């Protein structure tokens, strides 16, 4: 075990996978000489060459479309989009092609590709470079969706994604790339299995990606007030591990879903509905949703910070839920 960063864990997962599987290629804007928009592929061109690390034109349709075609003909492409906001330019290729080809061809062929991108707030990227669009991906049958929050999960989830025979959307939060942590190469949980990051008895917080760290900070502070909060990291949104969530809520009797995406028709809406359906008899209060505001993300750092949940909002909402 060694301390590393989230960015380096992703690079290690890609490098190890490419060394063991010659069918894996990487394509995207500036993934070669520049090393990727956030430096994940830095240095990989020198090891694997430009036949496997392919710089592309500035065209998301081309990047995803080429990846779909390459996957159908026997390769395992990793397509990188600089920002998840730009997936809107390639929704036909991703949603109508990659996600549906196995079904359209009666299971005779799949699309074993990984679409890597990043989203979320924290860098004053404004309305077109700061969105959290995971609900769109989660809504589409045929797409796997992984959103790791830790160094170890970034490594293991990406390595596992590169072994699947169907498309995976792998979303990284721009605020996590410099996160440091201990990489535990033997710790991987089963694909689609959530992890209880912190145990508690008064309330269950359900989240993923960067919001997990805010939930953990809030839980630590609330513990000093005698409030015991359980924190569940979903790790993947498709498949979705509702069993772990339901078992936790059945013990605590209260649930709050914390996400960075928009409130209306967002991930929190699906999760809260599923909790109500699967753990209703154990709930002492209605499920509470704490999500991003239904607004374009502001460029102002102060307004941007206020547009998504923060530690203080999480704590005050937990107190409200517990009537403290």
Active-site amino acid positions: 129
Three-state DSSP class for 10?
helix
Nearest to 78 by CA among 138, 134, 32: 32
Nearest to 215 by CA among 227, 238, 202, 198: 198
- Burial degree of 114 (CB within 10 A; 0-12, 13-18, 19+): buried
- With both helix axes pointing from N to C terminus, report the angle between 151-161 and 6-20 in degrees, rounded to the nearest 10: 30
- Burial degree of 16 (CB within 10 A; 0-12, 13-18, 19+): middle
Token pair 């960067």 is at which residue? 210
Q: Alpha-carbon distance 133 to 64, whole Å?
A: 17
Instruction: Give the number of C-alpha atoms closer than 13 A to the C-alpha of residue 86, restricted to the C-beta side.
Output: 19
Cis, peptide link before residue 239, omega less than 30° from 0: yes
């Amino acid at each position: 075990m060694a301390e590393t960063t989230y960015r380096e864990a992703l690079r290690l997962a890609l490098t190890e996978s490419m060394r063991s599987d010659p069918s894996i290629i990487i394509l995207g804007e500036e993934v070669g000489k520049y090393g990727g928009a956030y430096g994940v592929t830095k240095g990989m061109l020198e090891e694997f060459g430009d036949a496997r690390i392919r710089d592309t034109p500035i065209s998301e349709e081309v990047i995803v479309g080429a990846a779909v075609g390459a996957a159908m003909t026997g390769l395992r492409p990793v397509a990188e989009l600089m920002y998840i906001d730009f997936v809107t330019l390639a929704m036909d290729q991703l949603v109508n092609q990659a996600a549906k080809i196995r079904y359209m061809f009666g299971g005779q062929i799949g699309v074993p590709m990984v679409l890597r991108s990043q989203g979320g707030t924290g860098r004053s990227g404004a309305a077109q470079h700061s969105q959290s669009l995971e609900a769109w991906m989660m809504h589409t049958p045929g797409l796997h969706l992984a959103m790791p929050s830790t160094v170890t999960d970034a490594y293991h989830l990406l390595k596992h994604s590169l072994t699947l025979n169907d498309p995976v959307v792998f979303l990284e939060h721009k605020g996590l790339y410099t996160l440091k942590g201990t990489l535990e190469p033997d710790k991987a949980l089963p694909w689609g299995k959530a992890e209880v990051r912190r145990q508690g008895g008064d309330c269950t917080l359900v989240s993923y990606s960067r919001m997990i760290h805010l939930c953990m900070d809030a839980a630590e502070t609330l513990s000093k007030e005698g409030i015991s909060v359980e924190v569940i990291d979903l790790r993947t949104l498709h498949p979705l591990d509702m069993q772990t969530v339901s078992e936790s809520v059945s013990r605590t009797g209260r649930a709050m879903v914390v996400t960075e995406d928009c409130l209306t028709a967002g991930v929190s809406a699906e999760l809260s509905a599923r909790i109500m359906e699967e753990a209703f008899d154990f709930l002492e209060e209605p499920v509470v949703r704490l999500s991003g505001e239904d607004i374009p993300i502001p460029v102002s750092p102060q307004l941007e910070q206020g547009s998504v949940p923060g530690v203080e909002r999480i704590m005050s909402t937990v107190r409200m839920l517990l009537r403290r």
